[in-house]
Amino acid sequence: MAKMRVVQVAKAGGELELVEREIPEPGPGKVRVKVQACGICHSDSVTKEGLFPGIQYPRVPGHEIVGIVDKLGDGAKGWKVGQRVGIGWHGGNCGYCKNCRRGNFFACTNDLQTTGVSFDGGYAEYIVAPAIGLAEMPEGLSAVEAAPLMCAGLTTFNCLRNAGAHPGDVVAVLGLGGLGHLGVQFAAKMGFRTVAIGRGADKEELAKKLGAEVYIDNQAQDPVAELQKLGGAKVVLSTATSADAMAAVMGGLAPKGTFMIVGAVPKIEVPALQMILQSQSAQGWYSGTSIDSEDTLNFSLLEGVRSMNEIYKFEQYKEAYERMINGKARFRVVMTME
């Protein structure tokens, strides 16, 4: 049997380890993909640290995957060997539970397939994934360019296009890291009056380069006052991981504005009276399904949205993961398998 290399975690809280395995065969409805690149996302810590119940180990993390279809399992329809594809967090769903039948595939109660969590992910030379979890990759995006779009890009793009803002509306992006630097680009390219909120005057140049019309330094300025000068934000896309930073911006919402949360914190406080009087809301947003990924990839290619990446060879997986988990990497981290 031919062998491949994977980086796996042997148990919850265990170390990442490079091991050899047999190249797996794709079962019914599954597709085998030869991985070209895989992004390293903070959510990979779910697998490494065992943060979700029921993860079976050893497990290979990774859900920002770009590769080439290598072999089709029985009944795996819609794909051809040799086709370029991406695979993100949402790997698949049953299609027949009540939530799936309402189109809420992310909330599948029966067979929710999460890449790198419920099946082996992209820290590998090959991956076997449900056919329904594959996204078609446009020519014109390299594997390294596309990998972070499969999670960080998808999440911010899909959140912004579903948040209720229209072209010309004020949309603020809180945070200018891995998610935020993509969120600013998407917001600007979607035609929103884009406001970037970050820490420190030194981020202004970057924010403007990414397409922000206005930059608010939340260390030197009051983001609420600055947003209200613009009439308030119809949407705040919050990529921050600080509950205090989030709370400090909520007063900047416009009437009927929405505070969209994609950066995880244990808990936030909301200004209930203001939200009642101004008919505002706070909402969480999951990432998206494979067709949302395709939309993200095509929009990014069309509009020139690109992730800023630190790139590592597969063998440098330890260093690459540490750069991400310790917050040393300013934007996104990608491993290349070839």
- Tokens 């935020």, located at residue: 180
Dist CA 130 CA 120 (whole Å): 11
Residue 110 engages Zn ion in binding (rule: CB under 5 A): yes
Q: Which of residues 157-186 bind Zn ion (CB under 5 A)?
A: none
CB of 110 to Zn ion, least distance (A): 4
* Per CB under 5 A, 151 contacts Zn ion: yes
Q: Which of 87/254 has CB closer to Zn ion?
A: 87
Nearest-10 Cα torsion for 43, 246, 270, 186: -70
**Which stretch, 72-80, 110-118, 241-249, 322-330, contacts Zn ion (CB under 5 A)?**
110-118
Which residue bears the tokens 């998808």? Answer: 154
Distance CA 207, CA 308 (A): 13
Q: Can residue 101 be called a binding residue for Zn ion (CB under 5 A)?
A: no
Size of the site for Zn ion (CB under 5 A): 9
Cβ neighbours of 235 (radius 10 Å): 25
Beta pairing, strands 84-87 & 134-136: antiparallel
Nearest CB to Zn ion, comparing residues 104 and 281: 104
DSSP string, 277-329: HTT-EEEE-----HHHHHHHHHHHHHHT----EEEEEGGGHHHHHHHHHTT-S
Distance CA 296, CA 331 (A): 18
d(CA 203, CA 205): 6
Considering only residues 202 to 241 of the shown chain, the ones binding Zn ion according to CB under 5 A are none
Task: List the one residue from 35, 41, 60, 282 that touches Zn ion (CB under 5 A).
Answer: 41
**Nearest CB to Zn ion, comparing residues 89 and 314:** 89
Q: Which of 31, 69, 100, 174 binds Zn ion (CB under 5 A)?
A: 100
Q: Is 274 in the site for Zn ion (CB under 5 A)?
A: no
- In residues, how long is the chain? 338
Which residues, in sequence order, are CB contacts of 222 under 8 Å at separation 6+?
Answer: none
**Does the protein bind Zn ion through residue 94 (CB under 5 A)?**
yes
107 contacts Zn ion (rule: CB under 5 A): no
For residue 99, the minimal CB distance to Zn ion (Å) is: 6
For residue 8, give Cα distances in angstroms to 79, 289, 301.
27, 25, 32
Contact call for residue 296 and Zn ion (CB under 5 A): no
* Least separation in angstroms between CB 121 and Zn ion: 10
In this structure, which amino acid lies at residue 48? K
Residues 234, 211: Cα–Cα separation, whole Å: 18
Looking at the Cβ atoms of 59 and 193, the one nearer to Zn ion is 59
Beta carbon nearer to Zn ion, 250 or 329? 329
- Judged by CB under 5 A, the residue of 12, 68, 97, 224 near Zn ion is 97
Judged by the rule CB under 5 A, the positions of this chain that interact with Zn ion are 41, 43, 93-94, 97, 100, 108, 110, 151
